[in-house]
Amino acid sequence: METEEVILLRFGEIALKGLNRHRFEEQLIRNLAAQVKHHGRYEIQKRDGRVYIEPQYSEEMTLNQRRDLLEFAIDKAKKCFGVVSLSPVLKLTKSSIEDLMPYVCELCEKELRRGRRSFKVEAKRSDKSYPQNSPEIAAAVGEMILDAHPELHVDVHEPDFILWIEVRDRIYIYSEIIAGPRGLPVGTSAKTMVLLSGGIDSPVAAYMMASRGCPIEAIYFHTFPYTSDRARDKVLKLAQIVSEYSGPIVAHVVDFTDIQLKINESCPEDLLTIVMRRMMMRIADRYAEFCNCPSLLTGESLGQVASQTTEAIAASNEVSSRPIFRPLIGLDKDQTIEIARRIGSFETSILPYEDCCTVFVAKHPSTRPQIEKVHRAEAELDIEALVEMGLAKISSYSVRSHKVSEISNYRPR
């Protein structure tokens, strides 16, 4: 019997998209192809409302090399937004139920090694020409499993595992369902620029907006020598972690030291944080225009720190010409940390390399800044000259999950 190991991907939200559903499906396939193309040959197809990734094995490949090709694709697919779940599947030519049993037993033995002892068979027959219907297939396979593996028993309510058999163009059997990240494929929404720091919050915010289909660019404000280059490298590492889900990120590093010193010299101490934040927003807003990003993105959560009160957020909003998304606005720190741990950014975020926000911090920052006082504080600054100073000192980096490289003469797509 001809057999292949393939990966079955399931949609969720994409299935609700109506007449433009095909655009979301095609973007998902493009994203998957971009993620796996450097590791080997894969064929990615859409059939029956699902997507299949089929590794292209060569005859000279060893079993381990074939397994590596499959596992690599599984790892990439389970981080690809738009995928609700996936399963490694045995794809078989159509044959009798008896002929399926060696492959069914192989899956059962794998589940036994995992310590699972109860099972249920779920069958679905889409091809009505197959001689047995769905209940008959499930009953016959279940009976033969019990004969072959008396250590297993049936539990139709809370089984340790479910053996799935689907009769379509071929017969597909599997026993494992792996959760995907859900969301929309990256590239189905407009690009956004995240103000990325070395903290816990902004990488999570970038991940969350990528889950809504937004390609990500990042901007980071660096204050060397008050913060070391290890702080910059930490931020680029965080961008790498996010890029495992979002795809490639372009990260822009602004030399913010002289601007920060000017603010520190001229502004009242209690307004230092908000004036600094407004300056970052101005620079990010102007550079986002150059980069074709119609929105900005931050990791702010309401009330978490002095610069994240309603009044402080309103003061930051005032200087931006584009919407500022704040997907963490209603989350507490524990909820954000939970997401950071899940996506793998937490351990990097807590490395002890401070960014400019923590170095130039007021002892008693204003939590409810009055906008008139902020305007008076900024009157001592040549705002336009400082924005131009920041825009003139930007280094850009191409960030991918496997490497970071500096870009000379960055030109946005």
Evaluate whether 79 touches 124 at the Cβ level (below 8 Å). no
253 — phi, psi (to 5°)?
-110, 120
Provide the pLDDT for residue 29: 95
Lowest mean pLDDT among 104-118, 168-182, 344-358, 371-385: 344-358
With CA atoms as reference, report the closest residue to 320 among 299, 357, 295. 295
Name every residue whose Cβ is closer than 8 Å to that of residue 318 and which is 6 or more positions away in sequence.
278, 371
Q: Is the per-residue pLDDT at 360 higher than 70?
A: no
357 — phi, psi (to 5°)?
-60, -35
What one-letter code names the amino acid at 244?
A: E
Euclidean distance between CA atoms 163 and 180, whole angstroms: 20
Q: How many CB atoms lie within 10 A of CB 318?
A: 12
235 — phi, psi (to 5°)?
-65, -40
Q: What digits encode the pLDDT tens for the residues 71-109?
A: 999 999 999 999 999 999 999 988 888 999 999 999 999
Euclidean distance between CA atoms 354 and 368, whole angstroms: 25
Provide the pLDDT for residue 1: 60
For the CA atoms of 78, 79, 80, 85, the dihedral, rounded to the nearest 10 degrees, stands at 30
Q: What digits encode the pLDDT tens for the residues 280-298?
A: 999 999 999 999 999 999 9
Euclidean distance between CA atoms 129 and 286, whole angstroms: 63
Q: Is the per-residue pLDDT at 122 higher than 60?
A: yes
Euclidean distance between CA atoms 220 and 357, whole angstroms: 11
More confident residue, 247 or 367: 247
Is the bond into 225 cis (omega within 30 degrees of 0)? yes
More confident residue, 305 or 173: 173
Name every residue whose Cβ is closer than 8 Å to that of residue 90 and which is 6 or more positions away in sequence.
3, 4, 5, 103, 106, 107, 172, 173, 174
| DSSP class of 14 | G
**Mean of the per-residue pLDDT values for the chain?**
92
Q: Is the per-residue pLDDT at 354 higher than 70?
A: no
Structure tokens at 100: 């399926």
Q: How far is CA 271 from the centre of its chain?
A: 35
pTM to 2 decimal places:
0.92
Which of the four pLDDT bands, split at 50, 70 and 90, describes residue 359?
Answer: low
With vertex at residue 300, the alpha carbon angle to CA 84 and CA 372, rounded to the nearest 5 degrees, is 150
Evaluate whether 159 touches 184 at the Cβ level (below 8 Å). no
More confident residue, 366 or 381: 381
Query: Which residues lie across from 119 on neighbouring strands?
Result: 154, 161
Structure tokens at 116: 């699972």
Provide the pLDDT for residue 228: 87
Average pLDDT over residues 321-338: 97
Which of the four pLDDT bands, split at 50, 70 and 90, describes residue 357?
Answer: low
Q: What digits encode the pLDDT tens for the residues 137-155?
A: 999 999 999 999 999 999 9
With CA atoms as reference, report the closest residue to 147 among 188, 183, 108, 111. 108
Name every residue whose Cβ is closer than 8 Å to that of residue 26 and which is 6 or more positions away in sequence.
none
Q: What digits encode the pLDDT tens for the residues 223-239?
A: 988 888 999 999 999 99
Q: Strand 161-167 to strand 118-125: parallel, antiparallel, or no bridges (unpaired)?
A: parallel
Q: Is the per-residue pLDDT at 110 higher than 60?
A: yes
Average pLDDT over residues 116-127: 95
Which of the four pLDDT bands, split at 50, 70 and 90, describes residue 23?
Answer: very high
Provide the pLDDT for residue 49: 77
Per-residue burial over 100-137, b if 16 or more Cβ lie within 10 Å, else e, is: bbeebeebbeebbeeeeeebbbebebeeeebebebeeb
